[in-house]
């Protein structure tokens, strides 16, 4: 076998056990004989996620008009921005509910400049607000399964369930829940209380539906500090760990007017108002992307890419200043100028490493042992000293036992294969995954004690072999 230093040995002894981690990426094998939690690598797809308050996009008011908030000007600047950084998942606030306008954003901004495949989620506005929250996404990578408006005292919160593409041959995929919202603005006691109610409605929704899985909450939350009821309720949403959200950069505190948080302020990128856009310079952290434990810990095949969270255009030297006032170390001049003109908020960006889930049969079942590594008599173990090395212990049953195994990548591609016959005592099959991504093993019982079989069992994950 060209890529595999694989051999068969016969030895008695206790059965080893492994711990299943459903993860799709290259990893370093650590620990004592188990397949360990992975680290992010280029072996996975990467999603760029952006949240952006677009400042009354396509909405004319007494203070935001075609003169000081032109859609044509916005589109030109947005084209420049998205040529620099094209998100795969874009949540927006302060978008017009008029279909021709929010569809125009799709056709005139996102699907331009060589970009294609972007789609808009359904508009959901049962409250009848003049500005709405909406989701746009790269349909080459993502699809939408369901869309739900969450009613609040103010503007509706849009809630989506998305899946990652391509769908695997066994119909497995990775799911992602996303909420996009725009909470009540203002600093009065009434404003703060309403924000708390709106955040509470969102929390109640995912708690009542029994949500389990990857969750992002993005939006203009309009909070001044992490101690505000709205923000606190998101971070401490009940007793279920994956319901509780986290700030990916753990920058909690009193943000408003606090220079200690200069790198994380999102509003305003300009010191002077033009009548529509607020002035005052960057001194508030209103805009957020929050994630749950699944995303931070990769327990559902999506992981936040460390150090990828950023406030686009904020280099930490903008406190009470303009995004383009002096040399900006974080973005080119053209981008700083575009950000100055588009909105009185800066976009929030992070990246997710994502890949399809291992076949569901790897996750335990009526014939699986407690470890989830397969049926009794089959134990997958990863070598802690040699990345990519694996072994499977098979209990001996005497002559007439015949197994066939196939090592596959997550795309179904065969990486290696072999057979095991006449295992009298416990037998170990050992090999090395030649692939740069995690795979899984298919074990098929061909015969047992002279009787034909045909039962296939899935074992995984098998770690990637790291480059020498």
Q: Show the domains of the chain with their CATH numbers.
A: 7-40+358-462 (2.60.40), 45-354 (3.60.10.10)
Which residues, listed in sequence order, are joined to residue 418 by a DSSP beta bridge? 405
Question: 46-60, 174-188, 290-304, 417-431: which range is least confident on average?
Answer: 417-431
The pairing of strands 214-220 and 175-182 is parallel
Task: Tell me which residue of 17, 43, 45, 21 sits closest to 32, measured CA to CA.
Answer: 17
Sign of the alpha-carbon dihedral angle for 332, 334, 337, 338: negative
Tokens of residue 151, six digits: 């009613």
Tokens of residue 63, six digits: 């203070």
pLDDT for the residue 377: 53
Alpha-carbon gap, residue 162 to 172, rounded angstroms:
13
Are the C-beta atoms of 458 and 441 separated by less than 8 Å? yes
CA angle at 78 for the pair 296 and 57, rounded to the nearest 5°: 90
Alpha-carbon gap, residue 41 to 435, rounded angstroms:
13
Alpha-carbon gap, residue 441 to 189, rounded angstroms:
59
CA distance to 19, 173, 241, per residue, from 371 (Å): 6, 22, 22
- For residues 336 and 454, which has the higher predicted lDDT (pLDDT)? 336
Enumerate the H helices of 395-439 as residue ranges.
none
Mean pLDDT value across residues 382-393: 78
Give tens-digit pLDDT for 181-210: 999 999 999 999 999 999 999 999 988 887
73 φ, ψ to 5°?
-65, -45
Start-to-end CA distance of the chain, whole Å, equals: 19
Give tens-digit pLDDT for 223-279: 999 999 999 999 998 666 677 899 999 999 999 999 999 999 999 999 999 999 999
- For residues 389 and 169, which has the higher predicted lDDT (pLDDT)? 389
Give tens-digit pLDDT for 427-437: 778 888 887 66
Helix (H) or strand (E) holding 190: helix 189-208
Q: Report DSSP state, residue 165.
A: S
Are the C-beta atoms of 123 and 133 separated by less than 8 Å? no
Residue whose pair of structure tokens reads 């920058």 in the numeric block: 251
Whole-number percent of the chain with pLDDT over 90: 56
Tokens of residue 109, six digits: 């901004």
pLDDT for the residue 11: 31
Helix (H) or strand (E) holding 418: strand 414-421
Q: Given a cut of 70, is residue 353 above it in pLDDT?
A: yes
- The overall average pLDDT reported for the chain is 81
Are the C-beta atoms of 321 and 358 separated by less than 8 Å? no
Tokens of residue 314, six digits: 């904020």
> Which are the contacts of 317, defined by CB distance < 8 A and separation ≥ 6?
262, 326, 328, 329
Alpha-carbon gap, residue 396 to 424, rounded angstroms:
5
Are the C-beta atoms of 56 and 94 separated by less than 8 Å? yes
Exposed e or buried b per residue across 344-377, where buried means at least 16 C-beta atoms within 10 angstroms of its C-beta: bbbbbbbbbbbbbbbbebbeeeeebbeebbbbeb
CA angle at 325 for the pair 324 and 331, rounded to the nearest 5°: 30
Is 0.85 surpassed by the pTM of this model?
no
Are the C-beta atoms of 64 and 131 separated by less than 8 Å? no
């Amino acid at each position: 076998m060209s890529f595999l230093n694989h051999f068969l040995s016969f030895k008695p002894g206790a059965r080893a056990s492994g711990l299943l981690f459903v993860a799709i990426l290259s990893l370093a094998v650590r620990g004592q004989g188990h397949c360990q939690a992975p680290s992010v690598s280029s072996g996975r797809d990467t999603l760029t996620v952006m949240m952006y308050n677009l400042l009354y996009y396509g909405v004319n008011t007494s203070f935001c008009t075609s003169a000081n908030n032109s859609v044509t000007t916005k589109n030109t600047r947005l084209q420049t921005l998205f040529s620099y950084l094209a998100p795969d998942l874009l949540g927006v606030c302060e978008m017009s509910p008029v279909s021709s306008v929010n569809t125009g954003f799709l056709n005139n901004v996102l699907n331009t400049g060589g970009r294609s495949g972007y789609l808009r989620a359904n508009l959901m506005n049962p409250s009848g607000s003049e500005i709405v929250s909406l989701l746009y996404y790269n349909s080459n990578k993502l699809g939408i399964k369901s869309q739900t408006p969450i009613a609040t005292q103010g503007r509706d919160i849009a809630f989506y369930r998305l899946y990652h593409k391509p769908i695997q041959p066994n119909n497995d995929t990775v799911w992602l829940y996303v909420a996009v919202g725009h909470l009540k603005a203002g600093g009065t006691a009434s404003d703060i209380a309403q924000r708390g109610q709106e955040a509470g409605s969102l929390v109640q929704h995912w708690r009542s539906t029994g949500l389990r899985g990857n969750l992002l909450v993005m939006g203009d939350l309009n909070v001044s500090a992490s101690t505000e009821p709205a923000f606190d309720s998101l971070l401490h949403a009940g007793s279920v760990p994956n319901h509780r959200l986290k700030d990916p950069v753990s920058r909690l505190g009193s943000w408003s007017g606090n220079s200690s948080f200069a790198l994380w302020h999102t509003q305003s990128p300009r010191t002077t108002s033009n009548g529509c856009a607020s002035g005052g310079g960057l001194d508030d952290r209103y805009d957020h992307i929050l994630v749950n434990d699944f995303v931070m810990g990769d327990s559902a095949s999506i992981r936040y890419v460390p150090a990828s969270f950023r406030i686009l255009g904020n280099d930490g030297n903008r406190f009470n200043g303009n995004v383009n006032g002096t040399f900006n170390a974080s973005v080119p001049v053209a981008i700083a100028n575009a950000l100055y003109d588009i909105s009185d908020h800066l976009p929030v960006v992070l990246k997710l490493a994502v890949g399809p889930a291992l076949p569901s049969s790897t996750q335990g079942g009526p014939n699986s042992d407690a470890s989830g590594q397969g049926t009794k008599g089959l134990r997958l173990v990863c070598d802690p000293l040699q990345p990519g090395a694996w072994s499977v212990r098979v209990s001996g049953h005497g002559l007439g036992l015949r197994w066939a195994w196939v090592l596959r990548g997550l795309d179904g591609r065969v990486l290696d294969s072999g057979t095991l016959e006449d295992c009298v005592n416990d037998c170990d099959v050992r090999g090395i995954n030649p692939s740069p991504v995690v795979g899984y093993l298919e074990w098929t019982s061909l015969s047992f004690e002279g009787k034909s079989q045909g039962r296939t069992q899935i074992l995984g994950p098998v770690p990637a072999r790291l480059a020498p």
